[in-house]
């Protein structure tokens, strides 16, 4: 007879691991299946290795900047193989820690792909065994989408492969304008590659505040990244000495690697959703309610596979809320508003809440406070760089409804601004907060002059 569990979790990534541990803590008998490596995208080939590469890439500027502070630095040399080996060691350590945490929580881990064969049965493809489950949680994440097949598509890598390249490419072309594209552009640029970013839209970071998009683009260009917008890659040909990339305007670019960061799709293929009767939404993601419940009452889905906000902390929160709801008898919806987020580009971006354009669409009166300034460190280093900060304020209530930063440590700053925004802080609350001097973030509490006020016609 097939084994029986209270909860079968498909996918041991950010959302699945949290849901499994907390559910088990509530006394549920839990099994979790992982087809690749425990930890999922974030730990194995996402946030964590990405941030390690970002750290590595930033030393290039640090060595240069040191001269202005009196240091003589011998010509620095970089070794890609050392970085990747060290990164792999850290990822293996984290994977082991994730497994140990699951085992300590008495969750049974199975190393296999799992597919749903009927609404209460999951099959482990590694052994052919089936497991009966009272509840099923789908936490299979997302997968890079490389768009339509073009000539030479077999030469294209995604972020998955970028983490394990045998050597650092001398020249790389990255197609895409989202956060993964701009982050990798910064990484390869910092490590010494010649980087071309190609994006079909008007500007990078679609969906972000326009000032952030323009400011980051200018900063990336100052660092030598070539950004080509309103163009796409039409074809790739392997030629002696590299890859020849043909763009839609017929320009040919010679590079050593081509990476596409053209979005991620919910990982639902071959999962057996039809067998279970689970419905997808319009975007191809699993449709769920605010409790992450699908149209089949005992089947739930969390994380990127539901395409709500595709970020690790959100997947974790959804996984935890699922466990509280189903096994903790505490129905817990997840609030997806005002999620602070960072882009680990060079320089970094930190954003929360409404962009200026969104605020103008939704609010009767919008006040904008913004500033750009030279970071203090750049005064002695001589680096040509500027920090940008903007607060978007509801002109009727004085509430800060958006904050948008580009500059060093913007990711760290936005985490804390996030608390204030979530607490519905007003601009007056920001102003009443004493500055910390000398910092960049003191600008956030000392912006006195409005840069603009927008009043919606109908509201006048």
Ligand X SMILES: Cc1cc2nc3c(=O)[nH]c(=O)nc-3n(C[C@H](O)[C@H](O)[C@H](O)COP(=O)(O)OP(=O)(O)OC[C@H]3O[C@@H](n4cnc5c(N)ncnc54)[C@H](O)[C@@H]3O)c2cc1C
C-alpha closest to that of 443 among 371, 349, 366, 376: 371
Please pick, from the candidates 15, 186, 395, 402, the single residue that binds ligand X as defined by CB under 6 A: 15
Please pick, from the candidates 291, 313, 365, 451, the single residue that binds ligand X as defined by CB under 6 A: 313
| Contact call for residues 421 and 412 (beta carbons, < 8 A) | no
Q: Note if 120 is an active site residue.
A: no
- Range 195-234, binding ligand X (CB under 6 A): none
Catalytic residue among 153, 336, 437, 454: 437
- Longest alpha-carbon distance in the chain: 74
Please pick, from the candidates 315, 392, 400, 403, the single residue that binds ligand X as defined by CB under 6 A: 315
- Range 280-299, binding ligand X (CB under 6 A): none
Residue 324 CB, nearest approach to ligand X (Å): 17
C-alpha closest to that of 411 among 432, 441, 437: 441
Please pick, from the candidates 21, 23, 46, 317, the single residue that binds ligand X as defined by CB under 6 A: 46
Q: What is the Cα–Cα distance from 100 to 74, expressed in whole angstroms?
A: 43
Residue 358 CB, nearest approach to ligand X (Å): 21
Based on the shown chain and the rule CB under 6 A, indicate whether residue 414 belongs to the binding site for ligand X.
no
Which segment (71-79, 98-106, 300-308, 394-402) binds ligand X by CB under 6 A? 300-308
Please pick, from the candidates 25, 26, 47, 229, the single residue that binds ligand X as defined by CB under 6 A: 47
Based on the shown chain and the rule CB under 6 A, indicate whether residue 178 belongs to the binding site for ligand X.
no
The pair of three-digit structure tokens given for residue 441, joined into one six-digit string = 């973030």
- Range 348-367, binding ligand X (CB under 6 A): none
> Total residues contacting ligand X (rule CB under 6 A)?
35
Based on the shown chain and the rule CB under 6 A, indicate whether residue 16 belongs to the binding site for ligand X.
yes
Based on the shown chain and the rule CB under 6 A, indicate whether residue 139 belongs to the binding site for ligand X.
yes
- Range 248-277, binding ligand X (CB under 6 A): 267, 271
Q: What is the Cα–Cα distance from 310 to 326, expressed in whole angstroms?
A: 22
Based on the shown chain and the rule CB under 6 A, indicate whether residue 418 belongs to the binding site for ligand X.
no
Please pick, from the candidates 5, 31, 42, 321, the single residue that binds ligand X as defined by CB under 6 A: 42
Residue 379 CB, nearest approach to ligand X (Å): 30
Which segment (28-36, 71-79, 225-233, 277-285) binds ligand X by CB under 6 A? 28-36
* β-strand partners of 123: 115, 130
Residues that bind ligand X in the complex, under the rule CB under 6 A: 10-16, 33-36, 40-42, 46-47, 50, 113-115, 139-141, 159, 180, 267, 271, 303-305, 310-313, 315
Q: Which residues are catalytic?
A: 437
């Amino acid at each position: 007879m097939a084994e029986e569990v209270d909860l079968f979790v498909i996918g041991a990534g950010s959302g699945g691991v949290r849901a499994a541990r907390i559910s088990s803590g509530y006394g549920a008998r839990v099994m979790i299946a992982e087809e690749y490596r425990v930890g999922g995208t974030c730990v194995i080939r996402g946030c964590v290795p990405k941030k390690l590469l970002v750290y590595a890439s930033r030393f290039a500027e640090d060595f240069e900047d040191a001269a202005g502070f009196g240091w003589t630095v011998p010509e620095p040399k970089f070794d890609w193989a050392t970085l990747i080996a060290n990164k792999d060691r850290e990822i293996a350590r984290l994977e082991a820690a994730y497994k140990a945490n699951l085992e300590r929580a008495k969750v049974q881990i199975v190393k296999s792909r799992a597919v749903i064969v009927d609404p209460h049965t999951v099959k482990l493809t590694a052994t052919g065994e089936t497991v009966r489950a009272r509840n099923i949680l789908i936490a299979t994440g997302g997968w890079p989408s490389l768009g339509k097949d073009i000539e030479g598509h077999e030469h294209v890598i995604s972020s998955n492969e970028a983490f394990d390249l045998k050597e650092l490419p001398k020249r790389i072309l990255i197609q895409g304008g989202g956060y993964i594209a701009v982050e990798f552009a910064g990484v390869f640029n910092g490590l010494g590659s010649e980087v071309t970013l190609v994006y079909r839209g008007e500007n990078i970071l679609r969906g972000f505040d326009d000032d952030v998009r323009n400011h980051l683009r200018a900063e990336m260009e100052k660092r030598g990244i070539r950004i080509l917008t309103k163009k796409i890659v039409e074809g790739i040909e392997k030629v002696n000495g590299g890859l020849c990339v043909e763009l839609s305007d017929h320009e040919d670019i010679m590079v050593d690697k081509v990476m596409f960061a053209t979005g991620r799709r919910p990982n639902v293929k071959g999962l057996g959703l039809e067998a279970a009767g689970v419905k997808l939404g319009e975007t191809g993601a699993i449709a769920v309610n605010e409790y992450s419940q699908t149209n089949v009452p005992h089947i739930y889905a969390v994380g990127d596979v539901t395409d709500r906000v595709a970020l690790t902390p959100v997947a974790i929160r959804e996984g935890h809320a699922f466990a509280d709801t189903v096994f903790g008898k505490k129905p817990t919806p997840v609030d997806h508003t005002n999620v602070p987020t960072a882009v680990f580009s060079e320089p970094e971006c930190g954003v929360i809440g409404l962009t200026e354009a969104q605020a103008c669409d939704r609010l009767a009166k919008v006040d904008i406070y913004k500033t750009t300034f030279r970071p203090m460190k750049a005064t002695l280093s001589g680096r040509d760089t500027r920090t940008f900060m903007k607060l978007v304020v509801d002109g009727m209530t004085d509430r800060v409804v958006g904050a948008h930063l580009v500059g060093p440590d913007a990711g760290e700053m936005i985490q804390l601004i996030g608390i204030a925004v979530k607490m519905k802080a007003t601009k007056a609350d920001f102003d009443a907060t004493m500055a910390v001097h000398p910092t960049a973030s003191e600008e956030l509490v000392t912006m006195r002059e409005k840069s603009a006020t927008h009043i919606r016609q109908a509201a006048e």
